[in-house]
Amino acid sequence: MNKKLHLIYIGSFFAAGIAVLILLGINGYQYYSTPIEERFFNPSHASLKPSGNWGHGFGIIGTLMMIIGVSVYMIRKRSRKLFNLGYLKHWLEFHIFLCTVGPILVLYHTAFKFGGIVSVSFWSMVLVVLSGVVGRFIYIQIPRTIQGKEIDIKDLVSMRDELVDKMKLEMLFDVRLINELDELASPDRYKSLSLLNTLLVYFKDFFRIRSFLNKLKKNMAISGFSKIRKNEITNKAQAEIILSRRLGMLRTMQNLFKYWHIAHLPFAIAMFVIMIIHVIVTIAFGYKWIF
């Protein structure tokens, strides 16, 4: 999948998610904003209540999306036979899409009313989604091959050194910029940081890197570099800084990812177990959808 096709792939997921959120919000706003004790008299109650045709359907479709999103990604990740069936990062993006839109549909299935054991499943689902966002952030900080396999630290150091050498050849025109790049791209800046300090460094670096890249562009403009050449050098400089940061934080992020699995998995298991109990009880009481 080339870059343009990948953007379309991601864009379609984003557009679909936003469309679902907007359509459900607009069509159901009058009903969902009505006080719970008055909803029985709302014209949309028969269809949007949890056992209604639409409300019940939201729950079924949302649940299936989450089950498919989790199972497909886990099978692709763990099965050697499927190693060449698309890139793992693309499957992860598919997993994120289904496990984001699915909970939104489940939320509308509840009609924003939940209690008892179902509330445990709901809040577990919320925690799974939130921890998934954190997990995605940690995941992308660990350098990987295009297939999604973690890059060995020796290979990472070699890649970084090669990029540094190329950049210093490109930037012979300004020693001050080279020194600033050396400081920004030093892996030692990121070693042994706590989680809070890591977030602070990310926040500070966002502005520092933008400032450096702007100075680099201005310097190249004065030196008469072509637009294509300026973009090449700027991209290399940015790549070096990002690669150095990931190298410096590699061990920290790997450890955080291990702890994240410990926190993420129990919430997911609790959510699915209670969800299954809820489905069994619903069927036992004779609630059926359109069939």
Rounded to two decimals, what is the model's pTM? Answer: 0.65
Nearest-angstrom CA–CA distance, 119 and 97:
23
Place of tokens 């499957």: 91
The DSSP output letter for 37 is G
To 10 degrees, what angle do helices 88-109 and 117-141 make? Answer: 160
74: its two tokens: 């886990």
210: its two tokens: 């933008």
Nearest-angstrom CA–CA distance, 178 and 193:
25
Is the separation of the CB atoms in 253 and 138 below 8 Å? yes
Is the separation of the CB atoms in 142 and 254 below 8 Å? yes
Cβ-count burial of 76 within 10 angstroms (0-12 exposed, 13-18 middle, 19+ buried)?
Answer: buried
Q: By three-state DSSP, how is residue 15 classified?
A: helix
pLDDT by 10s per residue, the chain, length 291: 667 787 888 888 889 989 988 998 888 888 888 888 888 888 888 888 888 889 889 988 988 998 898 888 888 877 777 777 777 778 888 888 888 888 888 888 888 887 666 677 777 777 777 777 777 776 666 655 444 555 555 665 666 666 666 666 665 556 677 777 777 777 777 766 666 777 777 778 778 888 888 887 887 777 677 777 777 777 777 777 777 777 777 666 766 777 776 777 777 888 888 888 888 888 887 777 766
Largest Cα span, the chain? 77
